[in-house]
Structures are given as structure tokens and as C-alpha cells.
Amino acid sequence: MRVRLQLIICTSFLLFSCASKKEEAVQFSPDKILDQNAEKIKSVQETIKSADQFPRNIPKGETQWGMVGARDWCSGFWPGILWYAYEQSNDGGIKESAIKSTEALRQIAYRPAENHDIGFMLYCSYGNGYRLTGNEAYKEVLLAAADTLATLYNPNVGSILSWPIKKSEFGHNTIVDNMMNLELLFWAAKNGGSKDLYDLSESHAKVTMDHLVRKDGSMFHLGSFDSETGEFLKGMTHQGYADDSMWARGQTWGIYGFAMAYRETGNKDFLNTSIRLTNHFLERLPEDGIPYWDFDDPKIPDSPKDASAAAIAACGMLELSQVVDEAALEQKYIAAAESLLEKLSSDAYLSGDTNQALLLHSTGHYPNNSEIDVPIVYADYYYMEGLLRLKKLKSSK
């Protein structure tokens, strides 16, 4: 009887030990995923024949990236992805590709501003390039780009015009996405540009905070203003379900943008706004933890997800975690960001061999029936950024 009992105990221990090892084997590792992603990015880059063609999305039924030109608002994300892949791998071939892809965007800094997206186009590309190489030529392009973006500033309103082409429809329009482009201006003000760049960026953030952030901690996508008097006319949407709905990606631009604005200005109102937006976002996340494209779409749960919003939120919360005063809040936001990145790294969202992208299931412009439930390049960009941020935070503990 004693021998039999010992055999049972021994067998149970072995089974438990194997289960523990299996659990350890599948533990989420940002570093491992970054290595895999860098390898995939390098192989995809080898299929791109021209430096002035930039991946944007992968249409339904396709496996390769659809390309756009330099003037598309998404053009800066692929060179940014290459810089992140180089940062992880230190691969000289990836670096060379990043240089060529980045330099193909130089023209954007020296042509009239077509929209607010200059920050996305050039800070994601040239900004990361300058951070990793210190190339002074990149600095000059960034300073020129900041001056170009600043031409869209309207002092009557106190904010940057987002879409000149839509003035007849919306008047002076400021969208929440534009918060992300302020980082280029803040950077320029500290690196040889005019102090006016700082002032107008802070003003833009205040106007966005005062008029686009709603009392419940959600955001309007777009604010419409009178160009002459600066009067706030209306909060509305362009890419969300309704004017008063919570468009997922817009909420995450706000989370990230206001945390960055606080980092640059020290204005506690910006910090508190980012915290409010973040807490409301986390409270409303669905059970599986990845947002639908709009939190108020009545078709939920039969509504597309937006992996890009999850990736941006992760980056924003990691940014926020490093500027909050309380250790408990820091840990809360790091844990929430890690949870999002881990879910994006699961079989449900990671592309694997399905196509050339890193992530599946993003949604671009649902009301326009555009880029619905497909891979989109900015999802991959912020996914790489989030993983790198998390890796650095973990290694610094």
C-alpha cells in the first residue's frame, strides 16, 4: 500500500512539474516577440521594391501590403517600424532599409502643409532615426517639418487646423488625433526651434482638453470652431459611430497625447485628463480586453475590433505610468498595458504566417466602409513601440 501511495505521489509531482514547465514555456515575453517581429519585418522589407512606396493595409483576401506614396498620412509608420526593428535587432540591413525609407519622406518637410499628419509622417520616421543615429541631417528635416506644421495654427482659436481640405464642412476643425503630432513641435522647441512652437502646442492641448473631452471621460473625435472668433461650435465625429459615441482609437490618441503633453509641459491638468481618459477606457473594455472600433456601436458584439486602438492605448498607458506620482497608479497602468500587449500577441490577433502584417483585426474608417477588420500599418507601429517600451521598463526594474 505504501509503495502504491508513493507511486501516486511521484506521478502527481511529475504531472504538476510538466504542467508548470509548459506554462513557463508559453509565458508572455516581449523580447522574444520583438525578435520574431524583427525577423518578419526584415523579410517583408525584402519584398518592397521601391523606397518611396509605403505599406498601409492588407485588403481582405490578400496577403501582401497595399502600398501608398509619400504624401499619404500613413507613410511614416513603415520607416518607423523599420527603426524599431533595427533597435531590437541591431541588424545593419534593416538599418539601411530604414534610412532609405525615411529619406524618401524628406519632401514632406519642405512643401506646404496639407494636414496635421506631418507629425505622424516625419516624427515616426525621422524622429526615430535621429534618436537612434544622431544624424544631424535628420534634425534639420525635423525642425523644418515643425515649422511647416506650425503654419496650420490659428491664433484666434488657439489650435492647429487638422484638415484644411474640410474647412467648408467643419470650419476650423481640430481632431483628437492631432494631439499626437504635438510631440514634433515640443521636440523642435527644445532642439533649436522657436519657443513659439512650445507655446502653440500647449495652447492646442488646452483647447482640445477644454472642448473635446466630455464630462464622463470620453472624447469627441472632432471639434468645430469659428475661424475668426475662435468660438467653439460643436463636438462631433468623423470616423466614429455617432457624435456622442466613444470612438476607440480617438480615445487612445487622447490617452497617449495628454500624457505626452504633461511630460513636456508639467501642466497637471493634462496629466489628470490622461488619467480620466484612461480609467474610462479601462472601465468600458469588453470581456476579452480588446476594444471594438467604437464602444457604442449598437451591433456589438457583432462589430469589428480595433487592434490599433489596443496598441496605441498600451503605448499611452506606458507613457502615463512614467509620469504619475503614485506607485499604485504606475503599476496599474503598466499591468493594463502589458495585458493589452499580451492579448495582441495571442493567436487571435498575431498574424503569424497569415500575411505580411504583425497584427490582424484593425478598423480604420468604419463609416466610410474603409479598412474594416484588416491589418493596418499604424497598428504594427504602435505594437512594436509598446513592446519595446515594456521591455525597457522590465529591464530597468
CA–CA distance, 124 with 339 (Å, rounded to integer): 24
Question: CB–CB of 57/374 below 8 Å?
Answer: yes
List strand residue ranges (DSSP E) for 26-117, in order: 54-57, 66-68
Q: Name the grid cell of 326.
A: 503614485
Name residue 84's amino acid.
Y
Question: CB–CB of 306/292 below 8 Å?
Answer: yes
Residues 268-273: contacts with CB under 8 Å, at least 24 apart: 269/206, 269/209, 270/205, 270/209, 271/323, 271/324, 273/209, 273/213
Question: CB–CB of 340/347 below 8 Å?
Answer: no
Phi, psi (5° rounding) for residue 173? -110, 135
Active site residue 269: no
CA–CA distance, 329 with 290 (Å, rounded to integer): 21
Bridging pattern class, strands 172-175 and 159-160: unpaired
Residue 263 CB partners (closer than 8 Å, separation 6+): 319, 322, 323
Phi, psi (5° rounding) for residue 52? -95, 20
CA–CA distance, 79 with 380 (Å, rounded to integer): 12
The single residue of 177, 294, 297, 306 carrying the catalytic annotation is 177
Active site residue 353: no
The single residue of 117, 147, 306, 380 carrying the catalytic annotation is 117
Which of the residues are catalytic? 117, 177
